[in-house]
Amino acid sequence: MASSVLPTPLLKDELDIVIPTIRNLDFLEMWRPFFQPYHLIIIQDGDPSKKINVPEGFDYELYNRNDINRILGPKASCISFKDSACRCFGFMVSKKKYIYTIDDDCFVAKDPSGKEINALQQHIKNLLSPSTPYFFNTLYDPYAEGADFVRGYPFSLREGAPTAVSHGLWLNIPDYDAPTQLVKPMERNTRYVDAVLTIPKGTLFPMCGMNLAFDRELIGPAMYFGLMGDGQPIGRYDDMWAGWCTKVICDHLGLGVKTGLPYIWHSKASNPFVNLKKEYKGIFWQEDLIPFFQAVSLPKDCTTVQKCYIELSKQFKEKFGKVDDYFNKLGDAMVTWIEAWDELNPSAAAALPNGPAK
Amino acid sequence: MASSVLPTPLLKDELDIVIPTIRNLDFLEMWRPFFQPYHLIIIQDGDPSKKINVPEGFDYELYNRNDINRILGPKASCISFKDSACRCFGFMVSKKKYIYTIDDDCFVAKDPSGKEINALQQHIKNLLSPSTPYFFNTLYDPYAEGADFVRGYPFSLREGAPTAVSHGLWLNIPDYDAPTQLVKPMERNTRYVDAVLTIPKGTLFPMCGMNLAFDRELIGPAMYFGLMGDGQPIGRYDDMWAGWCTKVICDHLGLGVKTGLPYIWHSKASNPFVNLKKEYKGIFWQEDLIPFFQAVSLPKDCTTVQKCYIELSKQFKEKFGKVDDYFNKLGDAMVTWIEAWDELNPSAAAALPNGPAK
């Protein structure tokens, strides 16, 4: 019977679930049928003396701030504190090929037929099938069941590109910024869009870290969530930052980024007034940061994610260092992050190119 | 009572429905509640002596080959014969701001709740609301009811761009090429994806003419369906051709192209063996044509659709004239098309720029 509830799942030994939290992880009860077979990496944010309760039966490791400081030493400065950006420490200490990260206020959603959505399974499907970044397929994911490439899709492009990122969406509370939350406090997302699609090459998107999976071997070192929270002038731009960098590097290395299914149920909106305080500089800065990432060009000899990231940090500091000293700190932290990544992942550091420069 | 069945519809005096056909237009019966308030332009393909029956009560004008020859004189050579590409003559003779074109084997589809879909109404919604070509919104059309821009979407881009094209989709028989039809003869599209999205700037897509609406004033002269059918080496690339040219020009002029809703019910697949004969050169040629359109750059002084189109024809002939003499003919026909368009639309020819060069 147990096997019908918990069938041997896909990628069981190749995927870690990373959860940043400051509270008890009761939300895992609802995910038990889907998550229990996998290993969890829990990043405890805030006061390290507080005890986080993890429901019984889950296989996990937990890191608090003391652990992060002990493991990274001075390089721990690149990991944010009092902000869910700390989750990227989990990406770094994982030894698995794939990562799924989810917020602790996200629950199992239902599809229009009322069936509970196994979000992780859909992410795995997304990651294991190619992407189509070079030409748009109007019937969405051509690798999905019952779909294909439509008339006029070049045959030379039908093998697609390896998928590095699967960005899932949210029913109920949409991921709005503080101004939109303030203007539309009652808006709920009830639209179930039954599609997965590739974000075309050259197009940026707002990547949300709430329900996100990626191939660590292909793109891990780009999934740095920046300097946010305690002691920093902004918050709530951690995932956006990671999304801009990741997309630019995926485009350069010929990797794909998908968005759409799966949905999770986002249970509660964070406080818009608190959010506004965290966001306001980001709202202002993104008007210049996004055009920078839209225009940035990486040289051909950047053949690994690490090389791309270091190059990005250089160009970023050159352009924005004089705008605000925070950007100098962030640019330096990008370098520290890569050094720490390579220290904890020595084989990856010496590895072959992640992909061909395109 | 009639008013509840036929409410005064949107854009009643500003939209023509263009239908290419060789048969009786019985399919209009099913569309009556939605189409009857609008004016139809019927382009009769093939033998002009054959009589096309139009169901009673529709307001229409009908053009056969003799009419096209009479109206355009020698310039009629740019209008295809024995191919649905002839539909673009209807775009040229219309005097309305908006066009909706539909194939005569397309019927009213139902949404998942069983409600009949008013395809035209959704196209009008798409055309009357802006597009978002410069940054991807993960919750799809931010102007749709219950949706908005997500966190991280630059505020400076939230006004969007004027929408020039609305590309609708098909339930039942998907728009596959002959090889895919042959491999998957039984595949049916049953996936209703409840989304409209903007195809990002710089990304091409396979535009299908089966269920398509556009703003004639913004993009009309780019909606040339090329030389297909009788006397030409290919068919079934008419809409693809129009799609490549249109998207490149929309990108240049800062106009948006949407795809997704509405669905129509595509009733029957065309013969894959016949299709293969029409398509095989196109399947081969598109491998070079698409990279050309992906890379083409229009100069800043191309500030009208006409100027863009003439420039495209030049660059196209230069590059492909030596590949096959058909491309010389097609390049010349592009120029003829613009001349004929300006002759029939004299005020548009002398008009102000269609949009700013971006």
pLDDT digits (tens, 9 = 90+) for A272-321: 999 999 999 999 999 999 999 999 999 999 999 999 999 999 999 999 99
Amino acid letter, residue B273? F
Looking at beta carbons, which residues of chain B come within 8 Å of A278? none
Cα dihedral value B155, B156, B159, B162, nearest 10: -140
Report how far residue A344's alpha carbon sits from residue A338's, in angstroms, rounded to the nearest whole number: 10
List phi, psi (to 5°) of A112: -60, -20
- CB hemisphere CA count around B232 (13 angstroms): 30
Q: Do B240 and A193 touch (CB under 8 A)?
A: no
pLDDT in tens, A47-94: 999 999 999 999 999 999 999 999 999 999 999 999 999 999 999 999
Q: How far is A243 from chain B (nearest CA, A)?
A: 10
Q: Which residues contact A239 (CB under 8 A, 6 or more apart)?
A: A85, A207, A208, A209, A210, A212, A225, B152
Provide the number of CB pairs (under 8 Å) joining chain A to chain B.
176
pLDDT at A269: 80
Q: Do A193 and B193 touch (CB under 8 A)?
A: yes
**Are B287 and A156 in contact, with CB atoms under 8 Å apart?**
yes
Of A152, A189, A237, the CB nearest to B240: A152
What pTM does this model have?
A: 0.95
Handedness of CA B67, B71, B73, B77 (dihedral sign): negative
Amino acid letter, residue A51? K
Of all residues in chain A, the percent with pLDDT exceeding 90 is: 92
Residue with tokens 């598109």: B286
How many CB atoms within 10 Å of residue A95?
12
For A113: left if phi > 0, alpha if psi spans -120 to 50, otherwise beta; the answer is alpha
pLDDT at B269: 80
Q: Do A206 and B137 touch (CB under 8 A)?
A: yes
pLDDT at A110: 98
Q: How far is B291 from chain A (nearest CA, A)?
A: 10
Residue with tokens 């069945």: B5
What string of DSSP letters covers B241-291?
A: HHHHHHHHHHHHHT-EEEEEEEEEEE--PPPHHHHHHHHHHHHHHHHHHHH
Locate the DSSP E strands across A73-153.
98-102, 106-107
For helices B238-253 and B272-295, the axis angle rounded to 10 degrees is 20
Q: Which residues contact B25 (CB under 8 A, 6 or more apart)?
A: B19, B42, B52, B53, B54, B55, B104
Mean pLDDT of chain A: 94
One digit per residue, pLDDT tens: chain B, 358 residues? 333 444 568 899 999 999 999 988 999 999 999 999 999 999 999 999 999 999 999 999 999 999 999 999 999 999 999 999 999 999 999 999 999 999 999 999 999 999 999 999 999 999 999 999 999 999 999 999 999 999 999 999 999 999 999 999 999 999 999 999 999 999 999 999 999 999 999 999 999 999 999 999 999 999 999 999 999 999 999 999 999 999 999 999 999 999 999 999 999 888 999 999 999 999 999 999 999 999 999 999 999 999 999 999 999 999 999 999 999 999 999 999 999 999 999 976 555 555 544 4
Report how far residue A161's alpha carbon sits from residue B217's, in angstroms, rounded to the nearest whole number: 38
A151 touching B (Cβ < 8 Å): yes
Of A147, A148, A176, the CB nearest to B151: A176
Q: Do A208 and B135 touch (CB under 8 A)?
A: no
Report how far residue A199's alpha carbon sits from residue B75's, in angstroms, rounded to the nearest whole number: 42
Helices within chain A (DSSP H only): 2-5, 28-35, 65-72, 88-93, 119-128, 178-183, 216-219, 238-253, 272-295, 305-320, 325-344, 346-349
Report how far residue B101's alpha carbon sits from residue B99's, in angstroms, rounded to the nearest whole number: 6
- B214 strand-pairing partners: B99, B165
**Are B282 and B236 in contact, with CB atoms under 8 Å apart?**
yes
Locate the DSSP E strands across B8-119.
15-21, 39-44, 59-63, 98-102, 106-107
Chain A, residues 12-41, CB within 8 A of chain B, namely none
Q: Which residues contact B354 (CB under 8 A, 6 or more apart)?
A: B217, B218, B219, B253, B303, B304, B305
Q: How far is A74 from chain B (nearest CA, A)?
A: 31
For helices A272-295 and A305-320, the axis angle rounded to 10 degrees is 100
How many CB atoms within 10 Å of residue B319?
16
Q: How far is B100 from chain A (nearest CA, A)?
A: 19
The secondary element (H helix, E strand) that includes residue A296 is none
In three-state secondary structure terms, B189 is: strand
Q: Which residues contact A67 (CB under 8 A, 6 or more apart)?
A: A48
**Are A82 and A231 in contact, with CB atoms under 8 Å apart?**
no
pLDDT at A354: 53
pLDDT at A351 over 60: no
CATH number of A15-298: 3.90.550
**Which DSSP letter does residue A131 get?**
B
Which residue in chain A is spatially nearest to B172 when comparing CA positions? Answer: A146
